[in-house]
Each structure stands twice: as C-alpha cells, then as structure tokens.
C-alpha cells in the first residue's frame, strides 16, 4: 500500500459548491513540491459540522491509512469554526507546538493571527495538522512546521517521508 496523505477542507460554502476550494488544492500543490517520496492525496471537502469533520478525520486516519491529515478552514472564533474541537476529539495526544509556531509566523503578516485556534495532534499512527483557511497563510504555515513533520511521522511508526531539501529543509536529529 502506497503512502497516503489526507487533505480536508472545512467550509460550508466550498461543500455547497458556492465557491471553488482553492485552499485544499494549495495544500496538495505545496506537498507535491515538498515531497520526493511518492504519495497519494485523499481529498475531502466537508461543511463546518463537527461530527462530519470528526468522521472524516477518523475515516482518513483509520480506513484510508493516511500518515498525515492536513485540514484547512474552521479555526477562527465564529460559531461554525469547529476544526480544532473536532481535531481534539479524535486525537489521543495534542501537539501544542504546531499551533504556537504557526500563530507566531502568521503574526509577522497580520495582527489577527492570534484569532486562529489551529492545533495539531496524534491519532494512533496519524498526525493531524490544522492549517488556516486563507491560501497565502497556508504556505507560510506549512513552510514553518513541515520541517518537523517527517520525523514526527517516524516517531509514531509511520512511513519514511523524504523531501526535496532545496524546497523545504526537513530535519531529523542524529541518534
């Protein structure tokens, strides 16, 4: 079985086809640039409903066997922003360092970066990472946290991901 990476767009409007999902496609494009190891995206668009998000996260981790699931959207303070809650509900371990670093990086661009509640966590052998909804912020956040992602996946027993070091400076500590 090949390496699979889940991409979930949480957006009422994208799910209703009111507009095109640019954010999810931006994630796929960025990961394609990063990774030299062959991989296959498992791509879903869901409305901002916590139970649907949780079911999709579990499906991509448990059934599709994704070693990494990246979400976009639903991390703000509004009533229907429920991605962090869905992520926490399906994870055994939370990884606060991801959200801290992504907010810190986004703060270099906009002071409203503190409104993002994005987080990350571990479900069994899958790493789940929330990204912001805006395409420009997606690349900034992925560039910041992705250097630690392959080693994290090593530590939870996932596949060995290799990256194009000219595009993204992936790091693994020496034993």
The contact set with a copy of itself (CB under 8 A) reads 76-79, 81, 85, 93-101, 103-104, 107, 110-117, 122, 127, 134, 145, 147-148, 151-152, 155-157, 169, 171-173
Compare residues 43 and 135 and give the one whose CB is closer to a copy of itself: 135
Strand stretches in 29-134, DSSP E: 40-46, 68-72, 93-94, 120-123, 126-131
| Nearest distance, CB of residue 147 and a copy of itself, angstroms | 4
Compare residues 44 and 90 and give the one whose CB is closer to a copy of itself: 90
Q: What whole-number distance in Å separates Cα of residue 72 and Cα of residue 161?
A: 22
Compare residues 8 and 122 and give the one whose CB is closer to a copy of itself: 122
| Nearest distance, CB of residue 14 and a copy of itself, angstroms | 16
Strand stretches in the chain, DSSP E: 4-10, 40-46, 68-72, 93-94, 120-123, 126-131
Side by side, the strands of the sheet bearing 40-46 are 40-46, 4-10, 68-72, 126-131, 120-123, 93-94
| Nearest distance, CB of residue 167 and a copy of itself, angstroms | 15
Compare residues 24 and 99 and give the one whose CB is closer to a copy of itself: 99
Compare residues 37 and 112 and give the one whose CB is closer to a copy of itself: 112
| Nearest distance, CB of residue 77 and a copy of itself, angstroms | 5
Residue 166, CA atoms < 13 Å, CB-side half-sphere: 2
């Amino acid at each position: 079985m090949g390496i699979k990476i889940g991409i979930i767009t949480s957006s009422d409007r994208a799910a209703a086809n009111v507009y095109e999902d640019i954010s999810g496609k931006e994630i796929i494009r960025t990961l394609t640039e990063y990774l030299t190891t062959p991989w296959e995206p498992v791509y879903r668009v869901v409305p901002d409903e916590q139970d649907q998000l949780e079911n999709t996260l579990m499906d991509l981790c448990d059934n599709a066997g994704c070693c990494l699931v990246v979400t976009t959207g639903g991390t703000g303070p509004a009533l229907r922003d429920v991605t962090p809650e869905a992520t926490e509900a399906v994870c055994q371990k939370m990884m606060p360092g991801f959200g801290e670093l992504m907010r810190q990086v986004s703060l270099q661009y906009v002071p409203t970066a503190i409104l993002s509640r994005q987080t990350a966590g571990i479900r069994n052998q899958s790493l789940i990472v929330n990204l912001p909804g805006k395409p420009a912020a997606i690349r900034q956040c992925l560039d910041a946290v992705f250097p630690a992602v392959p080693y994290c996946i090593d530590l939870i027993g996932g596949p060995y991901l290799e990256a194009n070091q000219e595009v993204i400076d992936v790091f693994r500590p020496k034993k």
